[in-house]
Chain A
């Protein structure tokens, strides 16, 4: 990997008031990779993902995306650099229709691709097509998750940030969503940074993974390597099964 990484996180520290959530995180994501970050509740996964997007802002350290230092850029400008996030809690606009939520995803992209992108998202998630005019707030949890991912894809991202896409979903839907991620990665070369509690699926899918504990990365390796590690199995895979 001689090429410069697409996303480079160097020694990033983030605070909420006096509470330090990230204690010097260094990691990178190369173009075309799927990188996952696993860790317990409150370890700082979502914080890292949001820090990349500039909200909250890193107190120290550096975040470089595609050769540009984005550490201190306003969130909306960062998100216009072909980065999209499906955030923790999905954050669907409740009083907008499915269609409008997807349109919001494409708020800052060239409208010439709109039709094509709608088709792509509806292809990936046919359920959304059937519910095109239903209000976001009335969708089921799984449908909202699909919408959140679909909305992020509407931005035509080069880097897709996914925060716990499997949270609260039925195993079958989880499987489907992970298949979609894999397909986008293989077919379109989409770079994915995935935060997960569901360590088994995430590590199986990812090229590389990191384990975060209390704001510090404690283990790194390929997905396969981490899956084989005893510490990982003990802490993040219930009884080694999935």
Chain B
């Protein structure tokens, strides 16, 4: 029981990070029907920016709590802004010129952009893994169990609390933006009928750019969280996390915002529980098997939109 609770906490944390990345995949797919394979690498860039800013600020575990908090917000803002700039540029240079060409063209370009970003970071930051000394430590003990083998403690660390709460807040804010603001309505309008949106005075190109920027900003948040949680990053983390997050987006129903969040959570939990109860080596197999099973029975994904509209 205690072991289960601990894995649950770990799984939710991991799922939060996947969910944040998955939103970018799903939003971009929703609006232009394209899988932005370079999105995982924007996440990786976000992690590197975070590392650079943290190092520049000289943030360590001995920094006071208040100061750490302020500094981390600064790091977050920097990472979000710079990653957004990457996302915006990417769309502008690599994808927009291909709009209206055949469907595979932007997909292939996205894979190309992904390779470019990985190599660029590899050259600029080195190929070796980059460590970060823990900045946030400690946590709360939730349960203790004494067995012959010793004590088993169920803990939620401060960093886990941070990751989960930041994710919940951001997802709530984003859902609200999409559902209630005029920006969100424009995004949904472009998603459903770009030609009509432009007939209503909506600048479709600008709305698509904004969508890339929003996705990139969330990926940057995930990058910072990943860095703080695992303490090591390299130029390749975007690929692995990207594939997982993409899987999460498809599992939840690509194009659906709540689906991306749910999918992220499910993938995070499967991975964690599989590693805990079976074997670490096959955790990815378990995650992808789950995807296959869900898609066989629910081709739209868990929360994908069923097409019931009349045209």
Question: B-contacting residues of A (Cβ < 8 Å)?
Answer: 53, 55, 74-77, 79-80, 85, 87, 91, 93-96, 100, 103-105, 107-108, 135, 137-138, 151, 155
User: What 8 pairs across the A-B complex have the smallest Cβ distances?
Assistant: A137-B309, A108-B201, A94-B309, A91-B196, A79-B201, A75-B198, A80-B201, A93-B192
Q: How far is the CA of A100 from the CA of B200 in the complex (A)?
A: 13
Total of A-B residue pairs, C-beta within 8 Å:
72
Task: Given A55-B198, A79-B200, A95-B309, check contact A107 B182 (CB 8 Å).
Answer: yes
CA distance A85 to B196 in the complex (A): 9
A-B contact pairs, 8 of them (CB 8 A): A55-B195, A74-B203, A93-B189, A93-B193, A95-B305, A104-B185, A107-B182, A108-B201
Interface residues of B in 180-228 (CB under 8 A from A): 182, 185-186, 188-189, 192-193, 195-204
Which one of A80, A85, A103 lies within 8 Å of B185 (CB-CB)? Answer: A103
Asked if A87 contacts B309 (CB within 8 A), the reply is no
Answer whether A76 and B202 are a contact pair too, CB < 8 Å, given A137-B310, A138-B309. Answer: yes
- How far apart are the CA atoms of A105 and B81 in the complex, in Å? 32
* B189 cross-chain contacts in A, Cβ below 8 A: 93, 96, 104, 107
Question: Which residues in B have their C-beta under 8 angstroms from that of A100?
Answer: 185
Known: A95-B188, A96-B189. A107 touches B305 (CB 8 A): no
Question: When chains A and B are docked, how far (Å) is the Cα of A121 from the Cα of B199?
Answer: 19
B1: interface (CB < 8 Å): no
* Residues on the B chain within 8 Å of A79, using CB: 198-201
Residues in A whose Cβ lies below 8 Å from that of B185: 96, 100, 103-104, 107
Give min CB distance, B17 to chain A, whole Å: 29
A180 vs B310: C-alpha distance in the bound complex, in angstroms? 26
Contact of A155 among B196, B201, B309 (CB under 8 A): B201
| Bound: A63/B193 CA distance, A | 25
User: Would you call B192 and A94 a contact (CB within 8 A)?
Assistant: yes
**Smallest CB–CB gap between A130 and chain B, Å?**
19
Contact in complex: A93, B199 (CB < 8 Å)? no
Tell me whether A76 and B201 are in contact (CB under 8 A): yes
Tell whether B149 is near chain A: CB-to-CB under 8 Å: no
Query: Which of A75, A79, A104, A138 has its CB near the most chain B CB atoms (within 10 A)?
Result: A104
Q: Chain A's nearest CB lies how many Å from the CB of B23? A: 18
- Partner of A87 from the list B186, B199, B308 (CB cut-off 8 Å) is B199
CB distance from B29 to the nearest CB of A (A): 15
